[in-house]
Amino acid sequence: RLELRCERDGADGAELRLDAHPALAVSRAALLPPPGGPGDAAGQALPVESRPFASYGSALHITLPQAPRAGQLLTLLIDYEAGEGPGVCWLSPEQTAGKQKPYMYTQGQAVLNRSFFPCFDTPSVKFTYSATVKVPEGFTAVMSATSWEKQKDNTFVFKMSQPIPSYLIALVVGDIVSADVGPRSRVWAEPCLIEAAKKEYDGVIEEFLVVGEKLFGPYVWGRYDILFMPPSFPFGGMENPCLTFVTPCLLAGDRSLVDVIIHEISHSWFGNLVTNATWGEFWLNEGFTMYAQRRISTEVYGLPYTCLEAATGRALLRQHMDATGEEHPLNKLRVVIEPGLWGVNPDDTYNETPYEKGYCFVSYLAHLVGNQSKFDAFLQAYVNRFKFQSITADDTLEFFLEYFPELKEKGVDSIPGFEFDRWLNTPGWPPYLPDLSPGQQLMRPAEELAELWAADSLNMEAIEAVDIMGWRTYQLVYFLDQVLQKSPLPEGNVKRLSKMYPKISKAQNAELRLRWCQIVLKNNLEAEYSKVKDFLHSQGKQKYTLPLYRAMWGGSEATRALAMETFSATAPQLHVNVQNYVKKILGLGGAE
């Protein structure tokens, strides 16, 4: 049921168009009488027709009895069936952690929820929602909602009282249980994972929320719960409000990957509260969130560690731009997404640029201000000004210049080489990079150790003098990134490295496993190819899966065979988008 308000008198006549999908079968549309007014409770049936719109969805044309007037309220009832579309993921028991019961979840971002329910599937429109979900015995339903109530007959009732864009509506049904980890937080997971989830996150979430509130203003969503998804979940995290979905890869056992949670928590202000009005300006969600994440991280873990984490982010941006070419149109902050059948699918524009180049642009704005507490105050004012709205980059930058009139007077939007217009519309490497030198005290030892391992004859005395046992995850990740850049190493070196550091070569931590697998492939270390296979069997996260298939496909006959063998075994457990991207890498005619 859609409750609509007509914004203005339209010249379009009496037609309503909604986003939908060929997989969504509409049986009936009706106009309901106004609440408490006369008329048939079943409503007045309306002609409805599905027409082609884009590669990722169709348009539902509904003919109204007459053109609505500005301010008029309409209640529309649509009977439909869904389940086959890309937004709804059905997992067989073997795709879950417990392997006993099936599981379903929805993933809306960017344009997939139109296959879950008919709506205005654009981040420019926000609305509240409620839902009643009946599930079989032995299953629990959870949604991205501010209130959650279990009623009889295994029926769950949800309400989201704050307006959100369509992509943030999410539903999970599975054999899941919860445990409290803070005054306004609990973790949800399959029973076999709940103890690990509780141990990893007990007490830490509240700490991050408190710092976030101090920096960016009140947390408006009530609860902040985390749901650990089955291993096939394609993302690190999805910031569904009140209920962040995360990969089980975060259960490293040593709290070493909590920065992903800080990222998703930061979306509570940037993305969920202040939202990009179009997917072409995704950096407004992600660039600001990366900046906010690193502000919280600096407060909690200090500047050196945060700079080190940001350096690994910069390395990912470098890798991405080297792979695509700097001039690639996706390497702009403002991406042109043409609508229509031949247009770009917003989901296919996902890459490092809005995150890391966006982070550099926000850092540049902070650099122009020149005072951290003044810029923090600006961020709080920005959130307060645009909360519950969807905005464009022009809105953001206009507000910035209004907030700092002295900068506007100086014409900081058009400093040669750093023009705001250039930041938004020119592809390529960021014109400004924030200073990460405080991270040097952690980076330099990692760089020096990588140098030692890349030498033609190994200086084992110097290598053994470095104790990596005390290094935190991102220091090890940074070390492995350096080794990967220097690979292939001289004959035999990687084999010795593997033997010397079981902490790395036998790691359970997914970030370390990814890099180790990349090093194994780049150095043709056939003895450890099984580790690549095991890692790809254990999880289906896009950021881990695609780089490994690219590396295998770009390697030897043996690694290509490994890629084909691994994909044919694991394809059914991957998310459909990830399956298609892998098919494309392997030349199997997947996504365009």
Model confidence pLDDT, tens digit, residues 438-473: 999 999 999 999 999 999 999 999 999 999 999 988
Which CATH class, in words, describes the domain spanning 87-268?
alpha beta
* Region(s) of the chain under CATH 2.60.40.1730: 1-82
Among the four given CATH numbers 3.30.950.10, 2.60.40.1730, 3.40.50.300, 3.20.20.80, the one describing domain 1-82: 2.60.40.1730
Q: Is 299 annotated as a binding residue?
A: no
Catalytic residue set: 264, 355
Helix (H, G, I), strand (E, B) or coil at 470: coil
> Binding site annotation covers 579?
no
What pLDDT score does 88 carry?
Answer: 94
Q: Which long-range contacts (CB under 8 A, 24 or more apart) does 70-74 make?
A: 70/6, 70/7, 70/8, 70/9, 71/5, 71/6, 72/5, 72/6, 73/3, 73/4, 73/5, 73/6, 73/34, 74/3, 74/4, 74/5, 74/6, 74/31
Residue position matching structure tokens 């790809």: 536
User: Which alpha helices (H) appear in 370-404, and where do they start and end?
Assistant: 372-386, 393-403
Class of 437-586 in CATH: mainly alpha
Q: Which amino acid is at 385?
A: R
> In the chain, which segments carry CATH 1.10.390.10?
276-425
- Residue 339 pLDDT level (bands cut at 50, 70, 90): confident
Does the pLDDT value for residue 592 go beyond 80? no
Better-scored residue on pLDDT, 295 or 343: 295
Question: Is 590 a residue whose pLDDT tops 80?
Answer: no
Q: Is 541 annotated as a binding residue?
A: yes
Average pLDDT, the chain: 95
Is 126 annotated to bind ligand? no
Question: What's the confidence (pLDDT) of residue 11?
Answer: 64
Q: Is 158 annotated as a binding residue?
A: no
Average pLDDT over residues 47-61: 96
Averaged pLDDT, 1-5:
96
pLDDT value, residue 37: 77
For residue 471, the model assigns a pLDDT of 93
Closest to 238 measured CA to CA, from 580, 541, 549, 570: 541
**Cis preceding linkage at 110, omega within 30:** yes
Q: Is 287 annotated as a binding residue?
A: no
Q: Is 151 annotated as a binding residue?
A: no
Q: Is 87 annotated to bind ligand?
A: no
CATH 3.30.2010.30 domain residues, the chain? 87-268
Give CATH 1.25.40.320 domain extents, the chain: 437-586
Instruction: Out of 3.20.20.330, 1.10.390.10, 3.40.50.880, 3.60.10.10, select the CATH number for domain 276-425.
Output: 1.10.390.10
Strand ranges in 210-308 using DSSP code E only, listed in sequence order:
225-228, 237-238, 243-246, 274-276
End-to-end CA distance of the chain: 35
**Global pTM value:** 0.93
Single-letter amino acid code for the residue at 547: P
Spatial neighbors of 232 by CB under 8 A, at least 6 apart, are 89, 91, 95, 539, 540, 573, 574, 575
